[in-house]
Amino acid sequence: MEKKGVIYRISGPLVIAENVKGVGVYEVVEVGEERLIGEVIGVEQDRAVIQVYEDTTGLKVGEPVYLTGQPLSAELGPGLITSIFDGIQRPLPVIQELAGIFVRKGVKTTPLPRNKKWDFKPLVKPGAKVGPGDFIGVVKETELISHYIMVPLETRGIVEWVAGEGSYAIEEPVAKINGVEVKMYQKWPVRKPRPFTEKLDSREPLVTGLRVIDFFFPIGKGGKAAIPGGFGTGKTVTLQGLTKRSEADVTIYIGCGERGNEMADALHSFIKLTDFKTGRPLMERSVFIANTSNMPVAAREASVFMGVTIGEYYRDMGYNVLLVADSTSRWAEAMREISGRLEELPGEEGFPAYLGSRLASFYERSGLVKTNGEPPRVGSLTIIGAVSPPGADFSEPVTQATLRVVRALYALDVNLAYRRHYPAINWLTSYSLYVEHVKEWWSKQGGDYGLLREKLMSILQKEAELEELVRLVGTEALPAEDKLTLEVARVVREDFLQQDAFSPVDSFSPPLKTLYMTKVISLFHDYAFDALRKGVALEKILTMKAKEKIARMKDIPVFDYETTFQEIMDDIKKEFELLLQEVG
């Protein structure tokens, strides 16, 4: 007999049900005659507090609440890649076929297709001893992703039977272990982190192709970072750029309460784009969770945990996964609304007192790990979350709570954005705690990374100090060395840090190219100051022909960087030698 209670009170997305003895916290329930999906977030005696993930318009007191006995879980198996889900893993293209372009209340469908056949290849034989996380087979999910079928984390024993090579639907068993049938998919509670053997220190950066991140503020594989910025500073564009061009094996894009047109634009562009490494469609390594601002606010929280669970699943296969959430401020606003309706004691600016711990429970699921199972493998889940502080005020609670958890900050600057400087990451307020971790990796690319980074950063910091003086006395009143510093800083900003997101060449900068560009700028800096001290006029240095070649470095498309950049450095040296000959 189906267990059920009745609705006692309704307040927007919050419903209180009574006569629900035995219900558990985070249990999924179905609310009302339309069986709207909800999740229990609190229990008191025989009453349950439920956040409903669908529109509660028309819901009435006294309607039934059905208990499922199951937590909110993600369905993990072949078919995730290329999918577009809502916050509770309902496939939106399938819902469109069932109900039209608007998601109707109570519409239900399975997250993964049940009728699609997948070509399965076994990786174990009968009689083999297996444990949690072991590979038992592989499916070619897309041309870019081989989907490994793993032993469920609660199963271990002897393989009694395994399916031969062939096509199977995900509901068909592909193995039997100690009498337990194993299918190609498994379920996992979204609020429970998937276990691993060991967490490792990241010594290799996740290459994003954005020079300001890769060179100045790198993020290690399995790292966590935040991108706060005011309205119009380019949070969404930057996150989309990271998912499109970073060297991750799998990317997960979570639209958490963002505007519908932004999600539509992201989806539209992803469908048309190709992966620059393989030439295959970019969707063949992407998962979308589209939770827009006009959807019920409670589903925003579910969407980030759903996305991170999918990310952990692919991490367990040994892939490097990048997850971006746009934006966690909308999620925090949903928490504030639910907290207000629960009449909880508010914290700063009305946010709940547990805001920090909820953000931490999301970001702390990132990491570079040794996974469970055989063969031994290492996978990573990197999390980058956008934050939308009102009025670009980084002292507000969501930004501050996020900064306590993350290890890299990419602070977007309103002034840079208005100057059309992309990406608008402020190099003076941003930071990364992964710099020391990736120094050895960068040194293997060829060049003293630490020295080059320190030199370029000091040039930009010196420029910031001089700007205050320039506003008071003007540029002409400065000594020649300070004028030259401002010019070199301009070269760093415009010719190195600034990139063209629409350029097929400049939108992604490989590490080797980035390193050579810094070497060229460093060489120009050293020769210019040496020439100035030896009597060469500043005007002649500022009008050098070599500067044109430095300005065009970012558009160099060839992969023989060593020869091309060596020619530029040789030209710089020759031109400075001629200038020194002129002054004797």
pTM, two decimal places = 0.95
Residues near 54 by beta carbon (within 8 Å), at least 6 away in sequence: 36, 37, 105, 106, 296, 299
- The tens digit of pLDDT for each residue in 327-345 reads 899 999 999 999 999 888 8
Mean pLDDT for 559-569 is 87
Among candidates 87, 25, 316, which has minimal Cα distance to 193?
Answer: 316
As a whole number of angstroms, the distance between CA 110 and CA 89 comes to 9
Mean pLDDT for 149-153 is 94
- The tens digit of pLDDT for each residue in 13-57 reads 999 999 998 899 999 999 999 999 999 999 998 999 999 999 899
Written as six digits, the tokens of 289 are 């969770």
As a whole number of angstroms, the distance between CA 537 and CA 540 comes to 5
As a whole number of angstroms, the distance between CA 567 and CA 552 comes to 13
- The tens digit of pLDDT for each residue in 69-107 reads 999 999 999 999 999 998 899 998 888 888 777 777 878
pLDDT of residue 276: 76
* Residue 31 · residue 22 · CB < 8 Å: no
Higher pLDDT, 215 or 559: 215
Q: Tokens 């819901």 — which residue?
A: 59
Confidence of residue 224 (pLDDT cuts 50, 70, 90): very high
pLDDT of residue 562: 82
Number of alpha carbons in the 13 Å side-chain half-sphere of residue 485: 19
Higher pLDDT, 470 or 430: 430
Alpha helices in 41-163 (DSSP H): 92-99
**Alpha-carbon distance values, 293 to 51, 232, 261, 326, 327 (Å):** 17, 17, 10, 11, 11
Confidence of residue 157 (pLDDT cuts 50, 70, 90): very high
Residues near 150 by beta carbon (within 8 Å), at least 6 away in sequence: 133, 134, 135, 136, 186, 316, 317, 373
pLDDT of residue 97: 85
As a whole number of angstroms, the distance between CA 183 and CA 166 comes to 14
As a whole number of angstroms, the distance between CA 157 and CA 178 comes to 6
Written as six digits, the tokens of 570 are 């040789």
